[in-house]
Each structure stands twice: as C-alpha cells, then as structure tokens.
Amino acid sequence: MGGGSGQCGATPQQKPAVVPTNVKTTASAGVTKKAATTPTIIKIPAAPPKAKVEVMEEKRTQIAIILYTMYGHIATLAKSIKQGVESTGAQCTIFQVAETLPDDVLKQMHAPPKPDYPIITPEEMEKFDGFMFGISGRFGIMPAQLKTFMDSTGGLWKSGALVGKAAGVFTSVGSQGGGQETGGLATVTFFAHHGMVFVPLGGSLSSKRMRVREPNGGTAYGCGTFAGSDGSRTPNILEKPEAVNHGKHFANVTEKLAT
C-alpha cells in the first residue's frame, strides 16, 4: 500500500437526526418517512352574551300651572309655586289662557305685555296629573278669560279625562275683602263637574297668614296676594314663601293621587 497519512476511507462523524415531537416516523429500507398527523384544534368557548339591562326611567309627577294675569301679580306667584313643586322632584309647566280683550282696551288699561308662557289648549291637559289655576280676581270671581277656557273643556268632561286628577287655586285681588276666598270657591264647581280632587292649602299650612301687622294674601283655599287698587303692590316676603309651600304641598298630594 502506498503511504499516506491518516485513515483511508474514513468519513466524518454524522450528527443524529432530530425528529420533531409532533411527527411520527417509520423506517422502511433505511428510509425515514414522516407520517402526517392531524393537528389538535382547541376550541375556546365564546363569551356568553352580555345581559341586556333595561333602565326604567322613573315617572315624574306632571303638574301644570294655568293662569291669567293682567299686571303680572299672578305670574310672580306662579314662579314661587313652581319652585315649590319642583323641589319635590315633580315637573312643572306654566301655561296661560288666551286673552279675550282687544289690544286697544288693554292699552287703555295700561296692561303690560303678557309673559312668555305658551297658551294652553284643553287637549294638553290630558298628559298632566294635576293643575294649579291662577286667578286674577274680577268682582269676587274668576276673570272671563279663564272662564272661557274652562268652558272649552266639554270634550274632556264627556270623556272623563280629568277624573281623579288634582286641582288647586291661587289668587290675586285688588284689596282686602276683594274676593280671595270667593275667587277660590268659584273654581270648586268646575273641579266637581270634572271629577277632579280639590287640594286646598289649608289653614294649618299657612300660619304666616295669622300675622296682621301688615297685609298679606292667601286663604285656606290657596296662596294669594293683593295688587292694590292701582296694581302697584307686588307679592311680598310673606306671600312668596307661602306660594312655595303651597307648591310643595300640592305636588306631594298630587303624587299620591297619581300612583
């Protein structure tokens, strides 16, 4: 043999094959075959649907103040009454009835412009739970403008739409003895024919009226004020809080009647 260094025909040392753990192998005639395997599918359960939460909106007592005002005294009381009503959580909307006097007559009476309240219609009364009527007294009774509106509610009377609803009254007259009690009393027949529930202020809720050092309006029928013979007097520091209390009392009773 010829000389040479090293071993003849030697081959480098081979590394063993690494077989993936997820592959099966079979040996056949020195050939390694890979057997296909089915991949494992892990099913992740779907999240359950979120429960539908229905938020029930609490029904709030709906009260309407329906007024007629010539010089603004009733409108001023109505703001205080609304404050009292809304302090209980009830909702309150102020309406006015349509004017029946022509503009030239109003001008001769030096009447200021009307407040910016919507004109009430009989149909709108159906959605309310209670009503406070603001009366600007005329010769001891309600004004013709308010009486005209009341006379237009015949359809509601026929259908019984106002039966069981609360009703109250507040007044403004020119002077003491000018009809605060009779003005309130004049509305009761309207309430009775509609089957409404009259909610008076009552004597126990109006202790401030017992003060006689200064004139102040209001009766057991409802809160009130004096306008003076020329309309210059405005609701004072006794009458406005009384109107707030009247609004609270009326709203609380109306809520009980509506539930």
Give 2's Cβ-side CA count (13 Å radius).
Answer: 2
Q: Which residue has the tokens 């209390």?
A: 245
**CATH code of the domain covering residue 204:** 3.40.50.360
Domain residues for 180? 62-258
DSSP state for residue 215 in the 8-state scheme = -
Kindly state whether residue 233 falls inside one of the protein's structural domains. yes
Strand-pair partners of 131: 64, 167
How many separate domains does the chain show? 1
User: What integer pLDDT is reported at residue 165 of this predicted model?
Assistant: 98
User: What integer pLDDT is reported at residue 68 of this predicted model?
Assistant: 96
Which residues fall within 8 angstroms of residue 216, CB to CB, at 6 or more apart? 208, 209, 225, 226, 236, 238, 239, 242
- pLDDT tens by residue, the chain, 259 residues: 444 444 444 455 555 555 455 545 555 555 555 555 666 666 677 777 776 656 556 789 999 999 999 999 999 999 999 999 999 999 999 999 999 999 999 999 988 999 999 999 999 999 999 999 999 988 888 999 999 999 999 999 999 999 999 999 999 998 888 888 898 899 999 999 999 999 999 876 655 666 667 778 888 999 999 888 888 888 888 899 999 999 999 999 999 999 8
Kindly state whether residue 169 falls inside one of the protein's structural domains. yes
User: What integer pLDDT is reported at residue 196 of this predicted model?
Assistant: 98
Kindly state whether residue 50 falls inside one of the protein's structural domains. no
Kindly state whether residue 21 falls inside one of the protein's structural domains. no
Kindly state whether residue 204 falls inside one of the protein's structural domains. yes
Which tokens in the block code for residue 235? 């609701």
User: What integer pLDDT is reported at residue 167 of this predicted model?
Assistant: 98
Which tokens in the block code for residue 92? 């309150």
Helix (H) or strand (E) run with residue 170 in it: strand 166-173
Kindly state whether residue 46 falls inside one of the protein's structural domains. no
